[in-house]
Amino acid sequence: MARRSLAPLALAVAATVVALALCFHPASAQSAWLDEFRTDGVVRSDFDASGKQVASLVLDENSGAGFNSTEKYLFGEFSVEMKLVPGNSAGTVTSFYLTSGEGDEHDEIDMEFMGNSSGAPTVLNTNVWASGDGKKEHQFYLWFDPSADFHKYTIIWNAKNIIFRVDDVTVRAFRRYADLPYPDARPMAVHATLWDGSYWATEKGKVPIDWAAAPFVVSYRGYTANACVARGGGGRTSCPAGRNEWMDRELDDTDRLTVAWARRNCLQYNYCEDGWRFPDGFPGECSRE
């Protein structure tokens, strides 16, 4: 009798333990987003108090670090929360970007964060490459300290335009024009890196890394990709069902206001105003913005 009466109690206790484990350790296949990536260098993985997986990249004098997606995509919306290197991060470069590879004809969409001396604003460098044609940078001073807490960074890429967002605020859109290069045919993988960019990152290379402050650490969490996955050759893709507003996403009235605000208050470099870099004339899209 006692043995039979204890069985339901044991099952109830076991179920309670499992429920508590899920409450206090909610990490799952869905939240363990780093499983979708290959890693390089020192990449630490942990879970924060809310159950979000945190991937931390470590840079020292011996090596940088990074991760890249096992899947390649052709259009999508890609977001991640990042907490950048604190203190004197001069010379370091942290990135979140898409690329089709390293060839001369490669496509790429960049969000790069250029390190700074303590107290100086952090520069976000946005860039687009199409069929090996790049040099399309807009650089913005961030209006907050990106090392004090996590902030969300988003790339929306579709057949009409590429939209860059910071904490759900649109700061730039790169439009497609039928007669100009645009990344629309080469599937791209998602990458994140932390590396020594002393030769250009801070004040055009004037301020190198202070290795006495190493190791440098940047953390990523909350990664999401709502995107069409490339399946073999021939341009075949598998697109997610459901809410895919990004497929036709263009700037709305609110976006246009925030882009104008970012240009007035945060833009510190615009390739379409760099006559020294383009002595033979600006790229075609510059006269159409």
Task: State how far the Cα of 85 lies from the Cα of 218, in Å rounded to an integer.
Answer: 5
Bridge partners (DSSP) listed for residue 154 = 79, 165
**81 a catalytic residue:** no
Report CA-CA distances (Å) from 34 to 27, 69, 89: 12, 9, 25
* Token output for 243: 């809410």
Please identify which of the residues 61, 102, 105, 112 carries the catalytic annotation: 112
* Token output for 68: 């890249």
* Token output for 289: 């913005």
138-141 vs 151-157, strand pairing mode: unpaired
Task: State how far the Cα of 5 lies from the Cα of 28, in Å rounded to an integer.
Answer: 34
Which amino acid is residue 54, in one-letter code? V
Task: State how far the Cα of 166 lies from the Cα of 179, in Å rounded to an integer.
Answer: 30
Render 176-240 in DSSP notation, one character per residue: --TTS--S-SS-BEEEEEEEE-TTTTTGGGTS---GGGPPEEEEEEEEEEEEEEE-SSTT-EEPP
The residues near 75 (Cβ < 8 Å, ≥ 6 apart) are 157, 158, 159, 227, 228, 237, 246, 247
Please identify which of the residues 36, 71, 102, 108 carries the catalytic annotation: 108
The residues near 200 (Cβ < 8 Å, ≥ 6 apart) are none
**245 a catalytic residue:** no
Residues with a catalytic annotation lie at 108, 112
